[in-house]
Amino acid sequence: MNKCAECGSSDFEVRIEPDESQRNGQSYTVNVEYSVCRQCGDIVIFSEQIKRNDCVVRDAWRKMDGLLTAQEIVALRNKLGLTQQDAANIFGGGTNAFSKYERNEVIQSIAMDKLMRAALDVPDMFNWLKRQAGFNEKKLPASDYDNVVPITHRIIADLQTKSHKPLFSEHDDYHETADYG
């Protein structure tokens, strides 16, 4: 629990106010969050507030540079039907890149921003990127294959010998159901 450095109280009022700043000669205004101790009036910015304020500033910088904001990246990825991991595999940037872009911890490069926008606007290019990343549209996502064990006739014979009863029911219509127990 956060405590006031002046009086030791943990009773704070959260405030949000506009703050004007400059970057590369351009002014911008963002709403920053801070806390005021209700006992002594001391003003503090706690670490979680600093993180939130940093995210707001990064999105302001993105807008100034003409880049997609964190929320716009989430919307773009969802519109393309991708998980964060899929997006990282297709566009590059590392395994945690999209998680960091979307949490607003990292600002994407101009090149990454252009690539994401192009993928949305040029379906043939997006399909090419997916193929280059090893995605086959007819294939199920890799997670659906994680627990698949191919059954061969030798495995079936071994299981049937161990269980001492038939593995497949004669009542199955169009598929066979294994009985492993």
The three-point CA angle 117-122-125 to 5° equals 100
Kindly list the distances between the CA atom of residue 99 and the CA atoms of 39, 46, 94, 179, in Å, as whole numbers in the listed order. Answer: 39, 23, 10, 42
Look up the pTM and report it.
0.67
Element (H or E) spanning 23, and its range?
strand 12-23
Residue 180 burial (CB count, 10 A): 7
- CB–CB of 102/70 below 8 Å? yes
Q: What pLDDT band is residue 95 in, cutting at 50, 70 and 90?
A: confident
Confidence band, pLDDT 50/70/90 cuts, at residue 38 = very high
User: Would you tell me how many other CB atoms lie within 10 Å of the CB of residue 38?
Assistant: 14
Domains and CATH numbers, the chain: 12-65 (no CATH), 67-166 (1.10.260.40)
- For residue range 81-91, list pLDDT tens digits in order: 999 999 999 99
Q: Which pLDDT tens digit goes with each residue over 2-22?
A: 999 999 999 999 999 999 999
Does residue 174 register a pLDDT over 90? no
Q: Where does the pLDDT of residue 151 fall: very low under 50, low under 70, confident under 90, or very high at 90 and above? A: low
